[in-house]
Structure 1
Amino acid sequence: MKVPKRIQPLVDIGLVDEVICQLMSGKEATVYIVRCGDETRCAKVYKDSAQRSFKKAVQYQEGRKDRNSRRARAMGKGTRFGRQQQEERWQSAEVNALYKVADAGVRVPTAYGCIDGVLLMELVTDDTGDAAPRLNDVTMSPEQALEDHATMMNYVVRMLCAGLVHGDLSEFNVLVDAYGPVIIDMPQAVDAAANNNAQAMFTRDVDNMTTYYGQYAPELLSTRYAQEIWALFEQGELDPEVTLTGHFDDPDDAADVGSVLLEIKAALQEEEDRRERMSESEPY
């Protein structure tokens, strides 16, 4: 196919040899399958902020500090330079998150770098070499659902131990290959300690996964993994090898109204996001 304008610079410098086809177009980017030498990879082309429909980006960017005072001031004032810097930081956030969680033992596509708003990364494939399906397009046995859910809980624990919350984790942002689930789409990943919305986002991420796998293994629907994991995190007792039970008893003291409101807000936002996802093209 014709080389998209945004990928042409990567062709010019020899990082991409051929654009094979478009894989998807979603709310934040368009993904193409490309040939790089003897390997087939993905090129994720981020959309400009004016085109990007990702909602409430400010919530996700909270806690992302910039050590360059000039850039920080420009972003705060919303100048043209500041908006450009904000875009570059948004784009680089995903590749940085992919490197970080991969080092923590989470299965994500291998990132090869982000150049001029184009992220080159591994193409996750199925047994036949085609692009792996999303979790949303996969059916499974109760036993497989329990196994894969346990894997996903381990992944969210490992991400949290690395200081990150995915922030938009759902059946639409997980691929499934022969070895199990692979987490994708992380430009909105947040700092678990610095972002005031981190707990609500984490709860939503975990509940999304539990609800999805729970349609195949209904016993998961009564579990409280989000509360259990976050409590261990706050107590400094969370580690990648922790044994989870899915059980959590609320403290005996008065209910935390603030936390309840956060969960309600997160549930409403998730329903809105879910409707938006269903109206879009298949995201990668």
Structure 2
Amino acid sequence: MKTPKRLLPLIEDGLIDDVIGQLMSGKEATVYMVRCGTEVRCAKVYKEAAQRSFKKAVQYQEGRKVRNSRRARAMEKGSKFGRDQQEEIWQSAEVDALYKLAQAGVRVPEPYGCFSGVLLMELITDEDGYVAPRLNDVELSPERARRDHAIVMRDVVRMLCAGVIHGDLSEFNVLVDEHGPVIIDLPQAVDASANNNAKSMLERDVRNMTQYYGQFAPELLKVQYAKEIWTLFENGDLTPDTQLTGLVQEDTQPANVDAVMLEIKAALEEQEELEQRLRAAREG
């Protein structure tokens, strides 16, 4: 095939020897199978912002830190330099997440670096050496569905303990090799402690995966892993080795209405006193 323009610099630098073919084209990138020495790897070429169809990207970027104040100001102003910097951060987010999650024991492709908007990473294959299928293309037995669902929930927990939420996890962003599910596609990964949408994104990730595996093992549809995971996380009790039950203790205690009303009354009285002091200061 004709070498894609975006991969030419990597070939010239000796990072890639040959482009074997295109694997897929998605909403934020096109992925190619490439030869690097004796190994076959993936080259993920990120699309420019105008070509991406990823919805609500701003929600995912919330909380991503920019240490350089000049870069931060440029991004706020939306200048060309600022847009370029925003693109660089978007592209580097995935490789950063992959390194962090691999270290945390999450099953993700091994990253080899991001070069000029191209992420080089491990090619996930099946037991016969062919490109591993996506989860949505795999037929599962009830036993396999329960096992793989448990693996994904374990990895969601490990991700959260590492401060990361996938944010777009579904059967389309999971590959299946001979050992089970491998999580992919992380450019939209969010900081669990800095993004206001973190809880809802975690809940959606868990719901997506549970509903998919629940097609093959319906009993999974009754569990409450999202609520259990987030409650443990908020309370500081979540660890990479936490054994989930899928059960959540519901709070059946009635709300203390009197205590709430007293707090409201106290707040109103403080506000009234503050306004009186301000009026007195103006009149004086």
Structure 2-normalised TM-score? 0.88
In 1, the alpha carbon distance for the partners of 2:52 and 2:23 equals 18
Secondary structure, counterpart of 2:125 in structure 1: coil
In 1, the alpha carbon distance for the partners of 2:67 and 2:123 equals 33
Give the aligned partner of residue 117 of structure 1.
Answer: 117
Give the aligned partner of residue 63 of structure 2.
Answer: 63
Cα 1:250–1:5 shift into 2, 3 Å: same
Q: Does residue 1:139 correspond to 2:139, yes or no?
A: yes
Secondary structure, counterpart of 1:128 in structure 2: coil
Q: Deviations over 1:187-228 (max 9, x none)?
A: 000000000000000000001110000011100001100000
In 1, the alpha carbon distance for the partners of 2:6 and 2:69 equals 30
Q: Which runs of 4+ in 1 moved over 2 A?
A: 249-255
- Show the 5 A alignment for 1:42-57: 42-57=42-57
In 2, the alpha carbon distance for the partners of 1:116 and 1:171 equals 29
In 1, the alpha carbon distance for the partners of 2:250 and 2:160 equals 21
Give the aligned partner of residue 212 of structure 1.
Answer: 212
Q: Does residue 1:154 correspond to 2:154, yes or no?
A: yes
Give the aligned partner of residue 90 of structure 2.
Answer: 90
Secondary structure, counterpart of 1:114 in structure 2: strand
Cα 1:141–1:13 shift into 2, 3 Å: same
In 1, the alpha carbon distance for the partners of 2:128 and 2:227 equals 39
* Residue type at the aligned position of 1:147: R
Give the aligned partner of residue 74 of structure 2.
Answer: 74
In 1, the alpha carbon distance for the partners of 2:121 and 2:80 equals 29
In 1, the alpha carbon distance for the partners of 2:168 and 2:20 equals 28
* Residue type at the aligned position of 1:139: E
Cα 1:253–1:116 shift into 2, 3 Å: farther
Give the aligned partner of residue 192 of structure 1.
Answer: 192
Give the aligned partner of residue 233 of structure 2.
Answer: 233
In 2, the alpha carbon distance for the partners of 1:79 and 1:179 equals 46
* Residue type at the aligned position of 2:106: V
Structure 1-normalised TM-score? 0.88
In 1, the alpha carbon distance for the partners of 2:155 and 2:65 equals 25
Q: Deviations over 1:26-81 (max 9, x none)?
A: 00000000000000000000000000000100000000010100000000111100
Give the aligned partner of residue 221 of structure 2.
Answer: 221
Higher Rg of the two aligned structures: 2
Q: What is the aligned-residue RMSD (CA, Å)? A: 1.0
In 2, the alpha carbon distance for the partners of 1:252 and 1:193 equals 28
Give the aligned partner of residue 10 of structure 1.
Answer: 10
CA drift at 1:129: 1.4
Secondary structure, counterpart of 1:87 in structure 2: helix
The percentage of counterpart residues that share the same residue type is 71
The runs of 5 or more residues in structure 1 that have no matched partner are 256-284
Secondary structure, counterpart of 1:252 in structure 2: coil
* Residue type at the aligned position of 2:38: D
* Residue type at the aligned position of 2:191: D
In 2, the alpha carbon distance for the partners of 1:127 and 1:164 equals 29
Give the aligned partner of residue 34 of structure 2.
Answer: 34
In 1, the alpha carbon distance for the partners of 2:210 and 2:73 equals 41
* Residue type at the aligned position of 1:75: M
* Residue type at the aligned position of 1:233: F
